[in-house]
Structure 1
Amino acid sequence: MRQDDCYQLGEVIKTHGLNGEVSVLLDVDFPDEYQNLESVFLEQSGKLVPFFIETIQINGNKALIRFEDIESLNDAKNLVKSKIFLPLSSLPELEEGQYYFHELVGCEVFEEKQLIGIAKNVIDLNGNQLLSVEANGKEVLIPLLDEILLQADIKNQKLMVKLPEGLLDMYLEDDSDPQDDSDPQKE
């Protein structure tokens, strides 16, 4: 399984107890939908390795997981900071007009007919999702709100946005300030 064929479910954040359990931070909208997982892929030395789940308890966006053949604190320590993945094929089909955040990456972002840039990433800041767009060699962060992201044509890799006034200028204005003639050292 290649990482390109998967989406990140979360990350092992710490060990739990002495019997090999780990605490996982889930990076998904509906964590409870993963209560019946049987297996996942963990990134180990840059490769995805399948791990089978003995038990899983989900509480909010965290899960307590016990994997098969991980039976001690030392075994569990080797999993800390491992990213957890599931195949893209396991995602449920969405209704027309809906999309997964990972599908936005790589799309061209337009305002009216003007190309702004290419979507590079979706960033979650305390529940506020931002679309990171590379525009003229700079990063522009666009809030992922219905009134801003008007249309997502995933098939054609195009996003239509209506940006708040001044947002783009704030990111793209020239960094070089004109010389300030009010330098006190010149007097």
Structure 2
Amino acid sequence: MGFDDCYQLGNVVKTHGLRGEVVFFLDVDYPEIYQEMESVLIEINGKLVPFFIESLHLNGDRAITALEDIETIDDAKQLVGKNLFLPLRNLPDLPDGGYYFHQLIDFDFYDGETLIGKVRAVYEMPTNHLISVDHKGTEILVPAEDSIVKKVDLGNKIIHADLPDGLMDIYLESEAT
């Protein structure tokens, strides 16, 4: 299973105790959905390595976790800072109208009735998320905010937006100079 078949769940932030437990940070909207997960993939040296979960105690977006075959603090230290992944098929269903950012890749992006281009990526930043739209070879970054992104049509692979005045000009002017 490769990275394209997975989504990042979070990462290992630190060890816990002396028996090899680690603390997961679950970078998701609803951490409680993952309370009963049986395994996780951890990125080690650029590869996804499966680990079975012996126990997981959730506290908000953090989980004290015991992993099979991780028995000592030294074993656990090797996992600190590593990213956690799950297969895309494990993504929980979202309420109607909900979507995951990875689903938006290759969607047509419209500002009102005008086709701007295709979505190439979504950058998840600490303060806000940005949708990267390819407009005739120029990257336009659009904040992924409800006030701008008005409707996402998953069936037809279309995003309808209302771009702030001047947003496109910022990118197109820098291209002209």
* Smaller-chain TM-score bracket: 0.7 to 0.9
Aligned ranges 1:1-187 → 2 under 5 Å = 1-111=1-111, 112-126=113-127, 128-135=128-135, 137-174=137-174
Offset at residue 141 of structure 1 (A): 3.0
Offset at residue 165 of structure 1 (A): 1.1
Offset at residue 166 of structure 1 (A): 1.4
Aligned-residue sequence identity (percent) comes to: 47
Larger CA Rg, structure 1 vs 2: 1
C-alpha distance in 2, partners of 1:67/1:172?
A: 51
The alpha-carbon distance between structure 1 residues 117 and 172, as it changes in their structure 2 partners (threshold 3 A), is farther
Offset at residue 28 of structure 1 (A): 0.7
Q: CA contact under 8 A between 1:118 and 1:135: conserved in structure 2?
A: no
What's the secondary structure of 2:98's corresponding residue? coil
Can you give the 5+ residue segments of structure 1 that lack an aligned partner in the other structure?
178-187
Structure 2: which amino acid aligns with 1:51? Answer: F
Offset at residue 119 of structure 1 (A): 3.4
Offset at residue 90 of structure 1 (A): 1.6
C-alpha distance in 1, partners of 2:158/2:58?
A: 36
* Residue of structure 2 equivalent to 1:181: none
The alpha-carbon distance between structure 1 residues 64 and 137, as it changes in their structure 2 partners (threshold 3 A), is farther
Offset at residue 57 of structure 1 (A): 1.9
Q: TM-score normalized by structure 1?
A: 0.81
The answer to which of 90-99 and 46-55 deviates more is: 90-99
Q: CA contact under 8 A between 2:35 and 2:58: conserved in structure 1?
A: yes
The alpha-carbon distance between structure 1 residues 22 and 172, as it changes in their structure 2 partners (threshold 3 A), is farther
Can you give the 5+ residue segments of structure 2 that lack an aligned partner in the other structure?
none
Alpha carbon RMSD of aligned pairs, Å?
2.2
What's the secondary structure of 2:125's corresponding residue? strand
Offset at residue 58 of structure 1 (A): 2.0
* Residue of structure 2 equivalent to 1:185: none
C-alpha distance in 1, partners of 2:136/2:81?
A: 34
What's the secondary structure of 1:125's corresponding residue? coil
Offset at residue 169 of structure 1 (A): 1.8
What's the CA shift string for 1:139-184, capped at 9, x where partnerless?
433222223112222344322211111122223322676xxxxxxx
